[in-house]
Amino acid sequence: MRQHCIIDLRCTVFLQDVELLPQRNQVLRGGVHNNNLGPCKCGTKPDSQIDRKIKKGTHSTSAMGSDPEKLISKADKLTKLSFTRWSIDWKSATGLYEQAANGFRIAKSYEKAKEAFEKASKGQEMLSSPWDAAKHMESAATMAKELGNWKEVADFYRRASELYNECGRAQPASDALAKGARALEDGAPDEAVQLYTEACAILEEDGKEQMAFDLYRDAARVYLKLEKYEDAASILISLALAADKCNATHSQCKAYLSAIVVYLYAHDFKQAEKCYNDCCQVEVFLNSDQGRCAGKLLSAYAEGDVEDIKRVAQSSTVSNLDHAIIKIARKLPTADVSSFKNEAMKDNEEPLDEDDLT
């Protein structure tokens, strides 16, 4: 015999009195269909059949949603007008581009990830969100670095900087250029120093000279690596001028001494002497430890005293300079300095007056 048990107003389940008692209790407790009984009279399918259909549908949707190729294809369609689409849906398309870009990045498909981030950046621009557009452009630059495409690295970071500037944010704009410079130091060092210089200019225009000190030092370091000593000294003088604007006298004096050391490392004594004389016009430097150290160093060169040059180069004042400057100072002198002594003696000799017979 079967007993008619009403579980729900919308559904009834027929159970055996004795044999199906455990199933009956489970149904009474949980209010669910028994999987072994087949369809109810109401037409509802058993749980196992429903679960299989749900799982199948979910898997299919998830697979489609995680395929970056399909996401890109769908997003591209949303950004193009057609007979059936009369307006562009940038909001939906940008979200799809972002998903696709992350998918490609995880898969290490850097070329496709780069292109997807570019499109996502454009989408954010179209949505009047330059900040998010800049973020995506930085991500595109990171992908370009993975590909070793140094030109695109520079272009993308510059574009990111422009977008941050549109937001009125000088610091992130400068940071973007600095990131690009660091990414390019090994692959394209000449472009790197250019980005460092541009980053410094942005901060100075915004009245944040002190925030640019490290960028100037980084630029000088790269110039030294390229053996462009005149450029390195010039950028150090720029650092000193920036320090002067914000009354950072200690950094100013260190920068002046660093420039003089660079000229001496390049074995350009005359330029080093000229730089020293110019710097001494600044009273702060003239009366500083760095100024006195520079004077002693030049005197040692003028006398051709190698031991004295090495002693001054090992002094605590020099040891407190940046690492890149300390490294080259330890190698002084880099050539024969006896010629400087001879030149100094000639300069000190008074010219012979042929009319003076005394």
Contact 13, 38 (CB under 8 A): no
State the chain's mean pLDDT as an integer: 84
The DSSP secondary-structure symbol of 13 reads E
What's the pLDDT at 32?
A: 44
What's the pLDDT at 351?
A: 54
Residue in the structure block whose two tokens are 């997003």: 75
SS3 42: coil
pLDDT grade for 225, boundaries at 50, 70 and 90:
very high
pLDDT grade for 340, boundaries at 50, 70 and 90:
confident
Q: What is the spatial distance between Cα 114 and Cα 143, in angstroms, rounded to a whole number?
A: 5
What's the pLDDT at 133?
A: 98
Tell me the angle at which helices 150-166 and 189-205 cross, rounded to the nearest 10 degrees.
10
Condensed to tens digits (0 to 9), the pLDDT of residues 227-253 reads 999 999 999 999 999 999 999 999 999
pLDDT grade for 57, boundaries at 50, 70 and 90:
very low
Cα atoms in the 13 Å half-sphere on the side-chain side of 241: 10
Condensed to tens digits (0 to 9), the pLDDT of residues 282-314 reads 999 999 999 999 999 999 999 999 999 999 999
**Residue type (1 letter), 350:** E
pTM of the predicted model as reported, rounded to 2 decimal places: 0.77
Does 107 score more than 80 pLDDT?
yes
Cα atoms in the 13 Å half-sphere on the side-chain side of 208: 17
What's the pLDDT at 228?
A: 97
Phi-psi bin for 128: left (phi > 0), alpha (psi -120 to 50), beta?
left
What's the pLDDT at 354?
A: 52
Of 229, 230, 235, the closest CA to residue 256 belongs to 235
Higher pLDDT, 231 or 38: 231
pLDDT mean over 137-153: 98
Alpha-carbon torsion (81, 82, 85, 91), positive or negative: negative
Does 75 score more than 70 pLDDT?
yes
Residue in the structure block whose two tokens are 């031991």: 307
pLDDT grade for 318, boundaries at 50, 70 and 90:
very high
What's the pLDDT at 84?
A: 77
Condensed to tens digits (0 to 9), the pLDDT of residues 116-142 reads 999 999 999 999 999 999 999 999 999
Contact 229, 262 (CB under 8 A): yes
Alpha-carbon torsion (155, 156, 162, 168), positive or negative: negative
